[in-house]
Amino acid sequence: MTAYLTIRDVAKSYGRATALRRIDMEIARGEFLTLLGPSGSGKTTLLRILAGLLEPDRGALVLDGRDITRSPAWERDIGLVFQNYALFPHMDVRGNVGFGLEMRGIGGAEAARRIDEALDTVSMRDYGARRPSELSGGQQQRIAIARAIAIKPRLLLLDEPLSNLDAVLRQSVRVELRELHQRTGLTTVMVTHDQVEALTLADRVALMDGGELLQIDPPERLYECPASAFAAGFLGSPPANLLSVEPHSEAGAIRLCGALWRPTGPAAAALSGLRGPARLALRPETLRLLAEPAPGAIPGRMKAVEYMGGERLAHVAIDGAAPGTPALLVRGAGALADPGQLVYVLPGSVTGVFDTDSGARLAPAQAGV
Amino acid sequence: MTARGPASWLTAPGVALIACVFLAPFALLVAMSFWSQPNGTLLVDPTPTLVNYERIFSDGYYLRGLGRTLWLSLVTVAVSVVLGFPVAFWIARRAGRLRRLTMAVMLLPIVCGALLPTLGLVNLLSPLGIVNGTLKSLGLIDRSIPLLGTQTGILIGLVQAFLPMMVLPLVAVLDRLPPSYEEAAKSLGARPAQVWRRVVLPLAAPGLIAGSVLVFCASLTSFVTPQILGQGKIATFAAMTWQQASLVLDWPFASALAMVMLGLMAALGGAVLVLRRGARS
C-alpha cells in the first residue's frame, strides 16, 4: 500500500489528561476509513488534528507527500462535515456551498458551475435559495457534505455525520454516503461510535480506545479475527461472550469459568496450546443450542429468552460455573427451551483466545499478513 | 387545559402603575412641549405653538449642546463596541466559575447606579487624583492632565457606566454561536480575519445592534455622570433640560428639549427596525 495520508507518532494531551497516546496510521488514496471507539477513545481528537483545528503535541502528518503538521486549517484543503452540520445560518444554501470557493477567489460562472455540481452530487440542486433553517436535518446534512466537497478537498473528514438523524434516515444516508464515496473517489475518514456504521461503510476500520489505536483492519477481519479481547467485546450486538478458561489436569479438558469442559473441533484446536488462564471469545451467533448432550457441548440451564424479531437471544447459565459468571448469550432462530430447562451449547468457530491481563490475542493465529 | 399563568386581574396593579406614573406624565410632557411660557412669568399659556421647537433649532447654544451630546453618545458606543466585544466573546467561550465572576464584575456598574461609581471616578480623575499622581510619580508627565470638566472625563464615565449594556446582549448572542461555525469556515479556507468578517460579525450583529442602541440611548439621556465629571463646564442636552425645568422653571421649553431627545431615540429605533427588515428579506 502506498500511503496517501501518513499519521506518524501523533500524541495529544490536555493538561494531565492524555487524549491520544501514540498513533501511527497509513491511509491509501481513495480509501474510506472509519475511526471507531467509545467516547473518550480519542477518535474525535485525531479527526480534529487531521483537520488542523488542534495541534498535536508531537508527531507528523503527511498528506499526499506534503508535511501538513504545522499548516493552518485554512491551508489544508480538507473538507470537514460536522456532527451539527455547522451550516452558516446567515447564508442561503448556495452561499454556504460557495463559501470555500469564495475563500479561494473563485467567483462568477466558475463558482456557479461548481456549486451546481456539488448540489447535484447530493441531489439538492433545487434548494439553492433556501436558508439552512428551512431544511430538514437530512437535507442540512447533504448541504454540509456538498459544502465540504465543493472545494475538491484532498481529504474528506466526517465527524459522526449520522448521529443526529433518525434510525430510518440513518440507513438510507449510510447507503448514500457509500455511493458518494464510490462516485467521488475522495479519501475519507469518518469518526463514529456506531459499529454498524463503521462496518458497513468502511474499507478499513481503525478501532480506538483510551487514546490508542488497537487495530486497523477491514471490517470482516476486525469482526471475525479481533486482535484483542476489547475488540471482541466491543463489536457485535450483543458482542462476543468472553469466558475465562484455564488448563485442566485431565488431558483434553478445560476449566471453563470454573466448570469442567471437553471441547472438540475448532474450540479444541484453539485451546490446545493453553498454558495458563486466558479468555475465550465466542460470538453469540456461532453457538448452537441443543436439547441433548453432544461431544464438545457446554451444559447449562436456560435463564431467559429474549425475542428480538425473527430470532431469539438465549441467556444460559453454565452448569457448575463460579459465582458471578455472566450468562452465556446464544443468538439464533430456534425457540428451544423454557427457562429453567437443561440445555447444551455447542460452539462453532472460535473468535479468539486472549491473554487475561494484556487482552492480546493468543490463538488461533491470525490468517494472512 | 393549558397553563395560562396568573389570572388576568392580577396584572391590573402593575399595568395601572405604569399607566399612572409613566404614561400619564409622559402624555402631559408631550402636550406641554407645545405650550408656551411668556418671558418673566411662571404662567403657562396652553395655546398650541411651535415656539419652543423653533427656539431649540435656531439657537446655536442648544444646537451645539445637541451636537456635543450626540458626539459623546456615538463615541461611547464606539468605545463600548471595541472594549465590549472581546469581553463578551471571552465570556461566551468560557464556562464555570470564571465566567460567572466576569459576568458579575460586568454587572457591577448597573447594580451600583450612576452616583457611586461616578464619585469614585472623581477621585481617580481629579488633578490630584490617582491617575495623574501615578503618571507624575512615574515621571511620564510633569503637569496634571485635565480630565475632570473635559469631554474625555465624561467619556470615561459614560463607558464605565454603560459597557455592561453592550456586553450583556452580545454574550446572549455569542452564547448561541457554536464554535463549529468558525471551525467550518476555517476548514473551508477562511483566514482568521475572514472568519471574523464573514461569519462571527454577521452572526453577532443582532447583539451589536441591541447593545449599541442601549448604550446610545443611555448615554444620550445620561445626566448624573456628565454633570459630575463635566463639573458643570460641559452642558449636555440632558443637563440643559434639567436646567430649564429646575432652575429656569420653564416647563414647556424643558418638555420640548426632552421631546427632541426622545425623537432622536425613536428615529434610531425606527432606523434599526427598517435595517433589520431589509436584512431579512
Would you mind telling me the total number of residues written for chain B in this entry?
281
| Å between B84 CA and nearest CA of chain A | 23
Which residues does B contribute to its contact with A (CB < 8 Å)? 178, 180-181, 183-191, 194, 198-199, 202-203
Domains and their CATH numbers in chain A:
3-228 (3.40.50.300), 231-363 (2.40.50.140)
| Å between B202 CA and nearest CA of chain A | 7
Which residue of chain A comes nearest to B181, CA vs CA?
A86
- Distance of alpha carbon B239 from its chain centroid, rounded? 15
Predicted local confidence at residue B4, as pLDDT: 67
Q: Which three cell numbers stand for residue B125?
A: 480623575
Place of cell 435463564: A303
Of A72, A76, A86, the CB nearest to B184: A86
For residue A254, what is the DSSP state? E
Tens of pLDDT, residue by residue, chain B (281 residues) = 456 677 888 888 989 998 889 888 899 999 999 998 887 777 888 888 899 999 999 999 999 999 999 999 999 999 999 999 999 999 999 888 999 998 998 888 888 887 888 888 888 888 888 888 888 888 888 888 888 888 999 999 999 999 999 999 999 999 999 999 999 999 999 999 999 999 999 999 999 999 999 999 999 999 989 988 988 888 899 999 998 988 888 889 999 999 999 999 999 989 988 988 877 65
User: What are the tens digits of pLDDT across the range B44-86?
Assistant: 888 888 999 999 999 999 999 999 999 999 999 999 999 999 9
Cβ-Cβ contacts under 8 Å, B194 against chain A: 103
| A136-169 b/e (C-beta count within 10 Å ≥ 16 → b) | eebbbbbbbbbbbbbbebbbbbbbbbbebbeeee
How many beta-carbon contacts under 8 Å exist across A and B?
Answer: 61
Cα angle, residue A190 at apex, residues A185 and A196 outer, rounded to 5°:
105
pTM of the model: 0.83
- Distance of alpha carbon B127 from its chain centroid, rounded? 27
Q: Which three cell numbers stand for residue A306?
A: 429474549
Q: Which residues contact B185 (CB under 8 A, 6 or more apart)?
A: A88, A99, B194, B195, B198, B199
Alpha carbon distances (Å) from A284 to A256, A288, A289, A303, A346:
16, 9, 11, 15, 11
Predicted local confidence at residue A155, as pLDDT: 96
Cβ–Cβ contacts within 10 Å for residue A276, how many?
Answer: 10
- If 0-12 CB within 10 Å is exposed, 13-18 middle and 19+ buried, where does residue A105 land? exposed
Answer whether B184 sits within 8 Å of A52, measured CB to CB. no
CA A144 – CA A138 distance, rounded (Å):
10
Confidence check on the interface: ipTM exceeds 0.90, yes or no: no
User: What are the tens digits of pLDDT across the range A163-176?
Assistant: 888 888 888 889 99
Of A53, A72, A100, the CB nearest to B188: A100
Q: Which residues contact B237 (CB under 8 A, 6 or more apart)?
A: B62, B65, B66, B68, B69, B220, B257, B260, B261
- Percent of residues in chain A assigned helix, strand, coil, to nearest 5: 30, 35, 40
Alpha carbon distances (Å) from A94 to A68, A140, A150, A224, B162:
30, 12, 11, 45, 40
Which residue of chain A comes nearest to B206, CA vs CA?
A90
Question: Please, what is the end-to-end C-alpha distance for chain A in angstroms?
Answer: 13
Q: Would you call A7 helix, strand, or coil by DSSP?
A: strand
Domains and their CATH numbers in chain B:
61-270 (1.10.3720.10)
Alpha carbon distances (Å) from A303 to A308, A313, A316, A322, A332:
16, 11, 5, 16, 16
Q: Which of A198-207, A309-318, A354-363, B33-42 has the lowest mean pLDDT?
A: B33-42
The rounded mean pLDDT for chain A is: 92
The DSSP result for chain B, as a single string, is -----S-GGGGHHHHHHHIIIIIHHHHHHHHHTT-B--TT----B-S---HHHHHHHH-HHHHHHHHHHHHHHHHHHHHHHHHHHHHHHHHHT--SHHHHHHHHHHHHHHHHTTHHHHHHHHHHHSTTSHHHHHHHHTTS-SSPPP-TTSHHHHHHHHHHHHHHHHHHHHHHHHHTS-HHHHHHHHHTT--HHHHIIIIIHHHHHHHHHHHHHHHHHHHHH--HHHHHHTTTSS--HHHHHHIIIIIS--HHHHHHHHHHHHHHHHHHHHHHHHHHHHHH-
CA A131 – CA A149 distance, rounded (Å):
19
Mutate to test the interface with B, among A77, A80, A81 (most CBs of B within 10 A): A80
- By DSSP bridging, strand A298-307 and strand A342-347 are antiparallel
Of A51, A90, A104, the CB nearest to B187: A51
Mutate to test the interface with B, among A45, A48, A53, A85 (most CBs of B within 10 A): A53
Q: Which residues contact B136 (CB under 8 A, 6 or more apart)?
A: B142, B144
For residue A205, what is the DSSP state? E
Cβ-Cβ contacts under 8 Å, A82 against chain B: 180, 183-184
| Helix (H) or strand (E) run with residue A271 in it | helix A265-271
For residue A266, what is the DSSP state? H
